[in-house]
Structure 1
Amino acid sequence: MTRATLRWAGAWLILAATLLAGCGTGYRLDNTVQSFSSLPTLPPNPTYRFERLPSQQQLPGQTELEALADPALFRAGLRRDDAAPRYSVQVSARAQRVLSPWADPWDYGWGWGGGFGFHSGVGLGVGYGAPLFPRWEQPWYHREVAVIVRDIASNRVVFESRAVNDGPWMDNNTVIAAMFDAALHGFPNPPAGVRRVDVQVGGTQQARAAAPAAAPAPAASAPAR
């Protein structure tokens, strides 16, 4: 078998095994997170309301996005109260399908072909080509979520966090909701610097664990996993 065929088959088996395992027992979603906070502790009655930027006012999915973030905010210790909020919270998210790290840049497709002809004042040629295996690309997604918490009385940002994930998971709402949990890990006083936060999605346990991540190079953006 050719190298391209082996890579194709190997990537398919890895994705199939990963997705089957995820369906049965859940999966661990790894996130690269960086947070900034000036809140050493939460004050009594830490209520909030959602606040939208002008560009978010007419977004059809913004209400759904806030609904995905609300449980994570509640688990972090905040309680929504639109009538008497102490804080305002802005949330945003971005998802984009990207090239899988398993993609083979040298895979041009493989096939076979042939032809025949005869000459008696007339010429004829016939040929056929088809790939040995159908071309298959593993789905892969880059996602980011961001949370900004502002003190309404002083109009000062007191917490900002961003989580990034790259992976094959296609259930966008489930992944985005888990990423909000990752972004709020350690709230209101998270560790400084870039770190990795894993969130268990599905299965019998819902757990979060944090581990240091490699610091980004100077003047470079936070690394994505």
Structure 2
Amino acid sequence: MRLPWFTWAMTYTAASVLAMGLSGCAIPRLVDTEVSTFKAPSTQPQLVNATLYWLEQLPSQNADADRRVAAMAALSLSGVGLQASPSRQSAHLLVTLTTSRTQQNHAPFEDPPRTGFWFGTAGSGISFQFFEPASNWYQRQLHWVFRSPTGVVLQDIKASHDGRWSDDDTVWQAMLNASLSDFPNAPSERRTIKTDIPR
């Protein structure tokens, strides 16, 4: 028996939405990190030859979240050949991470993002549109400061990323890794480092 076109359209729409949802789960997310590196040329050899570091901790950095940051920083630093040391005769590092959250509200008269389908014949049809609900938007910034054991600033790195992903640790790890790309000889000009992370 042949199904009415309306029933067929509804079935096709449901299948299409389900397919989009399933395919979205397999697509990696992109974290595009804006990175700027600032160097002190006369002291650069001290950083190039460094293999150990001592991570500074401010009096306010004593919560569980700060300990997670220290662990993530250690993982990224090990990727560029730097290992933690209890000795203050090593290079001194300070890393700070900040997140601000805003909400993006969408209303029909503001032309919000939407997807839709249309089915029908030349004379009649039916349209389906799906408006995206309000969503959180996260602005993340991180700052590395590398100092000599005597306190001279050797290099500092600033990085930022704006996006809707709420899983802080995963995004921060991608940003920390991106900010140390080509360390310690990264170019001075501002650049964008793109990283895929799993959903």
With the length of structure 2 as denominator, give the TM-score of the two structures: 0.68
2:33–2:193 Cα contact (<8 Å) kept: yes
Q: 1:173 aligns with which of 169, 172, 191?
A: 169
Which structure 1 residue ranges, 5 or more long, are not aligned? 1-12, 108-132, 204-225
Output the amino acid matched with 1:80. A
- Residue in 2 that maps onto 1:26: 28
Q: 2:56 aligns with which of 51, 56, 67?
A: 51
| Structure 1 runs (4+) greater than 6 angstroms displaced | none
Output the amino acid matched with 1:71. L
- Residue in 2 that maps onto 1:96: 100
Matched, 1:42 2:48: yes
Matched, 1:62 2:66: yes
1:72–1:177 Cα contact (<8 Å) kept: yes
- Alpha-carbon distance in structure 1 between the residues aligned to 2:178 and 2:31: 9
Structure 1 residue 104, shift from structure 2 partner: 4.9
Q: 1:105 to 1:55 in 2, by over 3 A?
A: farther
Per-residue Cα deviation, 1:10-60 (whole angstroms, up to 9, x for no partner): xxx9xxx69963x424222101111112325621x510121012332x344
Matched, 1:147 2:144: yes
The count of corresponding residues between Structure 1 and Structure 2 is 162
- Give % identity: 27
Which structure 2 residue ranges, 5 or more long, are not aligned? 1-16, 111-129
Per-residue Cα deviation, 1:124-145 (whole angstroms, up to 9, x for no partner): xxxxxxxxx9982123211111
CA-based RMSD of the aligned residues comes to 3.3
- Alpha-carbon distance in structure 2 between the residues aligned to 1:182 and 1:105: 38
With the length of structure 1 as denominator, give the TM-score of the two structures: 0.61
- Residue in 2 that maps onto 1:5: none
Higher share in helix: 2
Higher share in strand: 2
Per-residue Cα deviation, 1:147-169 (whole angstroms, up to 9, x for no partner): 111111x3111121111001111
